[in-house]
Chains A and B, each alone.
Chain A
Amino acid sequence: MDYRVLGLSVLFGFTDGCILFLVSIGLSLCFGLMRIISLDQCGYYALGAYITYNFSLLTGNFWIALIISSMFIAILGLIVEYIIFKNVYAKPLTFTMIISFGTLLLITGIIKYIWGLNPLPVDIPLKGSLFMFGVEISIYRLFVVVITFLIYSLLYFFLEKTIVGKAIRASIEDIEEVQALGINGYQLFTITFVISCVLSGLGGALKAPLIMVQPYMGYEVLLYMFITAVLGGLGSLKGTMLAAIIIGVTMSIGSVVWAPSTIVVPFVAFIVVLLIKPTGLFGSKLLKR
């Protein structure tokens, strides 16, 4: 195989992996902290892309649209958490899964109602390209990678250094202890949920210029998101990042070698991982319940 094709596919995989990370970290944190399987993160992903589309048409500036869509998703996340998820925190996993799946369907339906079925294009904000290692690389893709790593470091800093982050990390291991210390657990839940939603929405918004925006984009990413979160270990930041990049690059290289493998390989890998090591790469042993 030509090394240029290989290099290009690695870069493409890296970008895809970065966006996958942004979506699946929400699921991972939500499960780690609140014990809910938040499948509706994909819904915010699709919605983020659509709102970015609208506001980039309206304002003519992609970056403003990015910020507005993040704010929009944050408010939506707050509402959804208040109306729906507050009521299911103590219930079995099955129920949270069903209700979040219902939310995902609802969001997909609303998107179809408002924007219709036709795929919509979003302009690429950074048009130029760089020559690196003899390959032509679009600056926007590099930018996606950079911004993801920036978010990763911010998130890392937030979870490791700030007091709220420490409380969240402590509650991932043992929520009762944290509440016994006098920290309001439900407030932590809300904060985590909103952060997850914003990150998912940001993932969608960043993905929007790379593809055509269509209503089922959230539904399509659902399984990849879950695979990434499981492979990385639910509740682990480092693991999710690594898993997202592994999956992104594998899919990208696989599609060069044999086109249909893009669809099947991640799912086969998912089932193999589940059977061999259900806690994932960096999953905490305490999480196995």
Chain B
Amino acid sequence: MNNIIKYYWQPIIIVILLIVAHFFIPLSFLIEVMLFSIFVMGCNFLLGYGGLLSFGQPLYLGVGLYATALYLTYIGQNPIVGIVMGIFVGLLFGFIIGSIIVHLRSDYFALANAALNVIGFFMIHDILADITNGLDGLWFLTRITPISILSLSIDLSNMYHFFIFTIIIFFMVLILTSYIMKSVFGSICLACINNEDKVRFLGYSVFKVKLIAFIYATLLSALAGSMYAISFGFVCPTMMGQEKAGEIVATTLLGGVGTLLGPIIGSIIIVATKDLASNIIEHWEVLMGILLILVVLKGERGIVGIVNDLYKIEILRKFKNNKGD
């Protein structure tokens, strides 16, 4: 029990804070923050633990969006199965795409993702327009039926139910991510970023490590996509447009690359800015651009990284003071 609290105190505290916060803050804001955090966590994991930057993350969001949407529109009515579908397709997609592009050098990888995103957008927009309805999008809010688990009726089109459901999913994602970050696999991922040759020398396959990191990142993005699809009740291709990629990267960097809390703090700031200062949405690019430049120039470890550093400096100073006495 002690171990669990020691290792997983961050997710537990976050969920408690969320539950407390929903008495004061509108539910829609919290849902948006959680879903956006899951999405950013994918990019964060890819950059912090795979060492790979991607300008095409919206594609993997779109995979989840359309997997769920197509299932709910044409096949079934159970939203849980829709989400499972999204995760499964994301997994498969990550495996196929990852095994092709993951060995590329970092700049090629980033732009190859952007190219794939454009291709994916085009596929959904034009080539598969018979199924996906093109730019009009798919509407399936009325097809989401209540489900019953353990004699509890859950209606995911109800915002309160959806909020609780999102918290459960969010908690699971946090636990899983923090487990992976602290596991041997996480350490090898970090080692891969620092020195690939030494990792190879130790007997690990760098390709496989990066592939698994990529698949996990894709899975998170696809999960976020599925949840978005159910939350909105409709999907359209503009949700996965390539121009959204800058925002994701900016949020990742702002929060702190390779940290558990980074994506959440970044998302809170970005979503809050969007909500509160809606008149600056017009000049969103200027803000994102300045943010990206400042973060790289002044504090490349993001907010969480800077706070961590300050904390460590404080501890060191206390330690030295004690020694002086």
Listed in ascending order, the chain A residues whose CB lies under 8 Å from chain B are: 31, 37, 84, 87-88, 91-95, 97-99, 101-110, 112-113, 216, 219, 222-223, 226-227, 230, 260, 263-264, 267-268, 270-271, 274-275, 278
Contact = CB atoms under 8 A, between A and B. Distances in A.
A97 B106 contact: yes
Contact of A105 (B53, B100, B106, B289): B289
Contacts of B211: none
Interface stretch (B22-30, B107-115, B303-311): B107-115
A222 B243 CA distance: 11
A263 B120 CA distance: 11
B104 A274 contact: yes
A113 B122 CA distance: 29
Interface of B: 47, 51, 53, 55, 100-101, 104-108, 110-112, 114-116, 118-119, 122, 126-127, 243, 246, 249-250, 253, 282-293, 296-297, 300
Contacts of B296: 88, 91, 95, 98-99, 102
Contacts of A112: 282-283, 285
Given A105-B292, A264-B122, A270-B115, A98 B249 contact: yes
Contacts of A91: 296
A105 B286 CA distance: 6
24 contacts: A37-B107, A84-B297, A91-B296, A94-B106, A95-B300, A102-B288, A102-B289, A102-B291, A103-B293, A106-B290, A109-B284, A109-B285, A110-B286, A112-B285, A113-B283, A113-B286, A223-B115, A260-B126, A263-B118, A264-B122, A268-B119, A270-B115, A271-B100, A275-B100
A112 B288 CA distance: 14
B300 A270 contact: no
B102 to A, nearest CB: 12
B55 A260 contact: no
Contacts of B249: 98, 101
A101 B243 CA distance: 11
A102 B108 contact: no
B297 A99 contact: yes
Contacts of A275: 100-101
A113 B280 CA distance: 11
- Which of A101, A103, A109 has the largest count of B CB atoms less than 10 A from its CB? A101
B289 A107 contact: yes
B253 A267 contact: no
A102 B122 contact: no
Given A108-B285, A109-B283, A271-B116, A98 B292 contact: yes
A112 B249 CA distance: 21
A264 B297 contact: no
Contacts of A94: 47, 51, 53, 106-107, 110
Closest 9 CB pairs of A and B: A102-B292, A106-B289, A109-B285, A109-B286, A105-B289, A267-B115, A99-B296, A102-B293, A105-B285
Contact of B297 (A87, A104, A109, A270): A87
A108 B118 CA distance: 19
Nearest to B285: A109
Given A97-B106, A101-B292, A104-B289, A271 B101 contact: yes
A98 B253 contact: yes
Main SS of chain A's interface residues?
A: helix
- Which of B104, B127, B253, B289 has the largest count of A CB atoms less than 10 A from its CB? B289
Main SS of chain B's interface residues?
A: helix
A31 B108 CA distance: 12
Contacts of A99: 292-293, 296-297
A89 to B, nearest CB: 13
A104 B284 CA distance: 13
Nearest to A288: B105
A130 to B, nearest CB: 36
A278 B104 contact: yes
Given A94-B47, A109-B285, 11 more contacts: A88-B297, A94-B110, A97-B106, A98-B53, A108-B285, A108-B289, A110-B286, A222-B114, A223-B114, A268-B119, A271-B100
Contacts of B291: 102
A270 B53 contact: no
A278 B108 contact: yes
A8 B143 CA distance: 52
Contacts of B119: 264, 267-268
B33 to A, nearest CB: 23
Contacts of A103: 289, 293
B285 to A, nearest CB: 3
Contact of B246 (A95, A101, A113, A278): A101
A219 B114 CA distance: 12
Contacts of A222: 114
- Which of A91, A99, A278 has the largest count of B CB atoms less than 10 A from its CB? A99
A95 B300 CA distance: 9
A99 B53 CA distance: 12
B252 to A, nearest CB: 10
B111 A223 contact: yes
A98 B294 CA distance: 11
